[in-house]
């Protein structure tokens, strides 16, 4: 499911503007525009201070009670953050159970309820309830891609808790099936391009390297769609991730030269808000270091400096560590962790 609010701005409101919006709601509780602006504002501020948790939760509860079929309820604006999860998750779950009991054949209500549970770090029993709601929604609306997306998310989430590799891959393949159905039911080309990013990652995790290759190539072919001003921020992600996964597949198939080409092509991305903040993929570089391709990885990290301006010395450290024959633990939370070889 493509979040239609993904490109919307988070409002920068001052105290007076917040008070004015709250007054608008006092005068007209059905002013959904004001309520959404406030929810966006409180959602962001709650990440900084617990003082904003209660007002965000207040608006969320009102929306669930008054408009349980609202499309807003299945967007990131209505996700519970960690503070709300710890304090009020059960309140929201119980409220959704009441609404589903009241509207058992309304697919929008069922889908919103499942979305809230699945994005709120659910217990196993709550996840099972959410799946039941989604299967009912899918039965009522078999051609709605949103239900396919959430069922895919459910099975992918389920895979994370499985230690047995075969069981894990089985859940991931189910997730892939739903994601593919979602893709096939989606009509907008740009929306389909966004979906490919999730599909290629899931296919690789499931060990389906044929599908990984297919989706990665499709993502690169569709990247031009992100050159439109509205979606320009994601163009760099598509280029980087497409080449990274093609490089991984090439290396798995013994095509080291192909993996090296894709590594360098991944570094040619213009960047993105995500890449500029959190940096490039390190998994392919790590695999190539293991087979002695130090020079290629050094070139990759040097090229990534063109877009990763917030690297805080990490690139310099990694480059120096590689030159000095050290093995870097990229997975470590302490990015200065390495060991001599």
Model confidence pLDDT, tens digit, residues 104-137? 999 999 999 999 888 876 677 888 899 999 999 9
Q: Is the pLDDT of residue 330 over 90?
A: no
What the block records as the tokens of 224 is 């031009």
- Average pLDDT over every residue of 42-68: 90
What pLDDT, on the 0 to 100 scale, is given for residue 332?
64
Closest by CA position to 247, among listed 239, 238, 259, 265: 259
- Average pLDDT over every residue of 78-89: 68
What pLDDT, on the 0 to 100 scale, is given for residue 86?
64
Q: Where are the beta strands (DSSP E) in the chain?
A: 326-328, 338-340
Specify burial of residue 68 (Cβ count, 10 A radius: 0-12, 13-18, 19+). buried
How high is the mean pLDDT of the chain?
89
- pTM for the model: 0.84
More confident residue, 338 or 230: 230
Query: Strand pairing partners for 271?
Result: none
What pLDDT, on the 0 to 100 scale, is given for residue 48?
84
What pLDDT, on the 0 to 100 scale, is given for residue 279?
93
Model confidence pLDDT, tens digit, residues 94-106? 999 999 999 999 9
What pLDDT, on the 0 to 100 scale, is given for residue 69?
96
Q: What are phi and psi of 20, to 5 degrees?
A: -65, -40
């Amino acid at each position: 499911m493509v979040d239609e609010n993904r490109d919307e701005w988070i409002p920068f409101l001052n105290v007076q503007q917040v008070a004015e919006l709250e007054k608008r709601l006092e005068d007209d509780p059905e002013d959904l525009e004001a309520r959404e602006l406030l929810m966006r504002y409180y959602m962001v501020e709650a990440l900084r201070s617990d003082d904003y948790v209660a007002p965000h939760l207040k608006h969320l509860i009102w929306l669930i009670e008054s408009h349980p079929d609202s499309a807003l309820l299945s967007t990131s604006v209505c996700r519970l953050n960690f503070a709300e999860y710890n304090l009020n998750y059960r309140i929201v779950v119980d409220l959704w159970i009441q609404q589903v009991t009241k509207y058992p054949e309304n697919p929008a209500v069922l889908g919103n309820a499942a979305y809230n549970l699945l994005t709120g770090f659910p217990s196993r029993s709550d996840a099972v309830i959410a799946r039941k709601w989604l299967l009912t929604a899918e039965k009522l609306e078999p051609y709605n891609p949103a239900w396919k997306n959430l069922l895919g998310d459910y099975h992918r989430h389920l895979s994370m808790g499985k230690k047995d590799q075969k069981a894990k891959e089985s859940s991931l393949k189910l997730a892939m099936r739903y994601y593919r159905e979602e893709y096939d039911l989606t009509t907008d080309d740009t929306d389909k391009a966004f979906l490919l990013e999730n599909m290629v990652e899931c296919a690789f995790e499931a060990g389906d390297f044929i599908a990984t290759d297919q989706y990665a190539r499709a993502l690169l072919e569709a990247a031009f769609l992100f050159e439109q001003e509205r979606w320009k921020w994601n163009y760099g992600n598509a280029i980087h991730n497409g080449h990274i996964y093609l490089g991984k597949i090439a290396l798995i198939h013994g095509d080291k030269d192909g993996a090296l080409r894709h590594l360098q092509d991944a570094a040619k991305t213009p960047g993105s808000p995500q890449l500029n903040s959190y940096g490039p993929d390190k998994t392919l570089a790590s695999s190539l270091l293991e087979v002695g391709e130090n020079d290629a990885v050094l070139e990759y990290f040097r090229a990534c400096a063109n877009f990763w301006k917030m690297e805080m010395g990490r690139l310099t450290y990694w480059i120096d560590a590689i030159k000095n024959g050290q093995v870097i633990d990229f997975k470590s939370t302490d990015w200065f962790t390495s060991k001599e070889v």
